[in-house]
Structure 1
Amino acid sequence: MVCRCPTNDYNKFIAGVFGECISGTGGVTSFIFGWISIAFGFFSYYPQIRMNYLLKRSEAMSVALLVCWIAGDLFNIISCYILDQLFTQKLMSVVFVFFDVIMIFQHFYYLQPKNQGVSKPTTFTTVEKFIYAFIAVVLVNNILWSGFFNSFGLDVQEQKYPMCPTSPELDKSSVKYIVGNVMAYLSIPCYLASRPGQIIKNFKRKTAVGLSVGMFAIISSANMAQMISYVTMSQEKSYIMQKVPYILSAVLPSLCDMFVIGQWVVYSKMDKVKEINMRKEQRKSIEVSKQDTEEQTLEVPLNEVETCAETCAISVASTQNLEGFL
């Protein structure tokens, strides 16, 4: 919704597209990284969801990871709305819970043998790439045109637009403030407890098959962008202290995601070596079967030669006996 702000130094592009009062370099930087985080968040779980669908399996994902993720995201979404956090935080929390539900459904759905169909290649096709590029171009184009058009309207006739809504500050002694912060801090151990489950499962499986490295890379990037959004908005102590649980819940899991990515790299190399060795064994078995076939083919003529020799010898002996008789 297009709206105007009480001060004159606000960014009209942001107000014209997103309806928020953002001013100053720090505020604009925070807003940009916040939306970069949302963009990553929208697509973060998609690589794994897509891989599960194509492979018709989801055993690569840890149940502990999924359970802790949805628990942490539920605490996070409750705290964001209770404390009336930034719009980007609210939207991000909703997106994560939505994808959590999809991944949990996939996991238990594909555990049933009847739902495990024929696997398909997981590489991105040309058509897929074109569709993704088209969607990205359309979204960016709409945002840019909307921003330029509405910011021009604010420059020309600012007074005809309503004031942007502002969030009232909560009393730190109020129940709402305390409950919101408790929920925010409860999300931290949930996010931290999610990664060890996946790391342990990766160690046990010793393979990267079925695990999307793209998901962990995008989630880590989204968390780091969100952290930058927090620290660039304001450097005031009161603001930073309020954002501490969200900063920790973004930075600490990202470090664990880096470890999972490292596991994927190592196990992918091991999978390639296993595949090469398997192909060598298949070639050897094919060569051995060919040799056996050739030997069997050679044995048949030899048997025929021996039979022919015996027949010829009998014929010669019969001829000699006949000559002696005559």
Structure 2
Amino acid sequence: MCRCAPLPDGTPANPFAAAVFDDCVYSAHELASVVFGWISIACWFIASYPQIRLSLLLKRADCISSVLLFLWVSGDISNLSSLIILRQPLTQTIMGGLWMFLDSTLTAVTLYYKQKHRGKQLPEIDVKYMGRVRKSEIVIYTVFFAGCLASFLCYSVPVTTYIQRVPEMFGECIVPPELSHTSARYIIGSVLAYVTLPLYCFSGLLQVIKNCRSKNTEDLSPGFFAVIFTANAMQTISLFTFSQEQEYLLRTTPYIIAAIFPMIMDFTILVQIRYYNTKYQKARRRAEPDTQEYDGTGSGLTGSDISADGPADPLVL
């Protein structure tokens, strides 16, 4: 926490942003940008959990593309490096670190199950039943959310009050100097920032293509892509609300594109999950009477059985 000096014209900094986020903001739109940025961070913090949870419950991760995860992690490394080099706002830097950590965890889980099941015929499972949220989980999530909210309020309210009434208790916030556009630091950071564009943009596109080819999305978590969509939306709003100056918008163009295009891909994937899962459930219900007549097991089709081109290998990227 820190104390922000007022602007030369006497405009005071927002005490809440300074106390809680260590950011010096002097206007309502800057405060809104900080809040949206932290909402995005919160979304990214939990984004990978739905997919990791579903993969662990099903003990498989066939539908998610390994190439997508590789591009994500590569983009995360490049993105975090550029954020640090260009001295971007704290919210963006923390988000970059979270992207890399959580995507690396998801990649490790996915590659483990892909390697474990490589070349094997997986048995049919009821994904909807096995992936359902239990009542005990709901209780845990509710308690966790309530605890986080209570902790935030217990910290932010007193600290904001102290920084208003006793500002001398806090040190002054350090504002990093602007980088020269001709400096090596700025050039390297900008190059790394633009490198993330094809990595992030094509990763979602590859997942869309994989879904179209396999016509199977049964072990993809809708919650995973829904939270990512929300995180990208909040990040986009945060970037646009911080400033509308041309120089700022040009400098943050890589981050804006890297949020908007994946957001479109995430929405497309959500539509695919809805479409293919509904189609699979209908095909399974139609097949159950015939299957029971022949073998009495009542087993249905797998997701790949409804492919127009015949059975597909679920491990194909």
Using structure 1 for the length normalisation, give the TM-score.
0.83
- 2: distance between equivalents of 1:113 and 1:176? 44
The offset of 1:23, in angstroms, is 2.1
Change (3 A) 1:264 1:10: same
* Counterpart AA for 1:9: P
Q: Which runs of 5+ in 1 are unaligned?
A: 289-326
The offset of 1:286, in angstroms, is 7.1
The reply to whether residue 259 of structure 1 matches residue 262 of structure 2 is no
- Give a deviation string over 1:163-202, Cα, whole Å, max 9, x none: 0121111111000000001000010011111122211211
Q: Which runs of 5+ in 2 are unaligned?
A: 298-317
The reply to whether residue 154 of structure 1 matches residue 157 of structure 2 is no
- 1: distance between equivalents of 2:244 and 2:115? 51
| Number of positions where the alignment pairs a residue of Structure 1 with one of Structure 2 | 287
Match for residue 46 of structure 2?
A: 43
- 2: distance between equivalents of 1:184 and 1:6? 31
* Counterpart AA for 1:58: A
Structure 2 counterpart SS, 1:5: coil
The reply to whether residue 180 of structure 1 matches residue 178 of structure 2 is no
Match for residue 294 of structure 1?
A: none
Greater CA deviation, 272-281 or 242-251? 272-281
The offset of 1:278, in angstroms, is 3.0
Retained in 2: the 8 A contact 1:16–1:146? no
Retained in 2: the 8 A contact 1:16–1:151? yes
The reply to whether residue 14 of structure 1 matches residue 17 of structure 2 is yes
* Counterpart AA for 1:236: E
- Give a deviation string over 1:294-326, Cα, whole Å, max 9, x none: xxxxxxxxxxxxxxxxxxxxxxxxxxxxxxxxx
Match for residue 215 of structure 1?
A: 224
Match for residue 5 of structure 1?
A: 4
The reply to whether residue 284 of structure 1 matches residue 293 of structure 2 is yes
RMSD: 2.1
Structure 1 counterpart SS, 2:252: helix
- 1: distance between equivalents of 2:173 and 2:76? 28
Alignment of 1:1-326 (within 5 A): 2-7=1-6, 9-113=12-116, 121-285=130-294
* Counterpart AA for 2:4: C
- 2: distance between equivalents of 1:107 and 1:161? 46
Retained in 2: the 8 A contact 1:14–1:147? no
- Give a deviation string over 1:125-154, Cα, whole Å, max 9, x none: 111111111111111111122111011112
* Counterpart AA for 1:102: T
- Give a deviation string over 1:273-300, Cα, whole Å, max 9, x none: 1221232224434789xxxxxxxxxxxx
* Counterpart AA for 1:24: S
Structure 2 counterpart SS, 1:277: helix
Change (3 A) 1:113 1:181: closer
More helix by share: 1
- 1: distance between equivalents of 2:230 and 2:194? 22
Retained in 2: the 8 A contact 1:54–1:122? yes
* Counterpart AA for 2:5: P
- Give a deviation string over 1:87-124, Cα, whole Å, max 9, x none: 11111111111122112211221124479999781111
Match for residue 305 of structure 1?
A: none
Percent identity (aligned): 32
* Counterpart AA for 1:111: K
Greater CA deviation, 110-119 or 134-143? 110-119
Match for residue 315 of structure 2?
A: none
The offset of 1:74, in angstroms, is 1.0
Retained in 1: the 8 A contact 2:44–2:98? yes
- 2: distance between equivalents of 1:244 and 1:114? 41
Using structure 2 for the length normalisation, give the TM-score.
0.85
- 1: distance between equivalents of 2:283 and 2:244? 52
- 2: distance between equivalents of 1:63 and 1:181? 27
Greater CA deviation, 107-116 or 150-159? 107-116
Retained in 2: the 8 A contact 1:46–1:215? yes
